[in-house]
């Protein structure tokens, strides 16, 4: 699946290759209750980078159905941007330091148990920077 993700966003990576790009992936999280947020582990560059983010491509994969009202944000240390769908791109983190780690944050509004629980199999980002 990672290769498919990279192939889908290859045009964005090639465009950014003069500047730079980093990729990170990780396992997801489990959300069992409405009104509570679950965060992924930090996704960060494996090598030192400098500059600012220009565009971020993301992808996450769920195990099971998507709960109604699911709200997903992609967050740096200081800023979050709401994202829609299980893959896409955003410029909402433009000018954030390129070396800042990113986290996915999942939340379903309301209260009480979430059945079945939201289970995120994996998540991935490709960060373009200049």
Rounded to two decimals, the pTM is: 0.85
Residue 18 has pLDDT above 90, yes or no: no
Q: Provide the pLDDT for residue 28.
A: 85
* CATH number, position 74: 2.60.120.260
Q: What is the DSSP string of 59-121?
A: EEEEESPPPTT-EEEEE-SS-EEEE-SSEEEE-TTTTSBTT--BEEEEE--SSSEEEEEEEEE
* 16 — pLDDT class (breaks 50, 70, 90): very low
| First-residue to last-residue Cα distance in the chain | 27
pLDDT at residue 13 is higher than 90: no
Q: Which pLDDT belongs to residue 3?
A: 53
Which domain, by its residues, includes 107?
2-129
Question: What average pLDDT does the chain have?
Answer: 90
State the total domains in the chain: 1
Q: What is the pLDDT of residues 72-114, one digit of tens each?
A: 999 999 999 999 999 999 999 999 999 999 999 999 999 999 9
| CA-based torsion, 1, 38, 57, 86: positive or negative | positive
Helices (H) and strands (E) in the chain, counts: 2, 9
């Amino acid at each position: 699946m990672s290769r498919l993700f990279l192939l889908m966003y290859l045009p964005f990576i090639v465009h950014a290759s003069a500047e730079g790009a980093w990729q990170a992936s990780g396992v997801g999280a489990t959300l069992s209750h409405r009104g509570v947020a679950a965060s992924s582990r930090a996704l960060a560059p494996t090598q030192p980078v400098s500059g600012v983010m220009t565009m971020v491509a993301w992808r996450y994969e769920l195990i099971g159905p998507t709960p109604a009202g699911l709200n997903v944000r992609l967050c740096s240390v200081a800023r979050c941007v709401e994202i829609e769908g299980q893959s896409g791109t955003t410029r909402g983190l433009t000018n954030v330091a390129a070396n800042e780690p990113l986290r996915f944050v999942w939340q379903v509004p309301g209260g009480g148990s979430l059945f079945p629980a939201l289970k995120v199999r994996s998540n991935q980002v490709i960060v373009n920077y200049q």
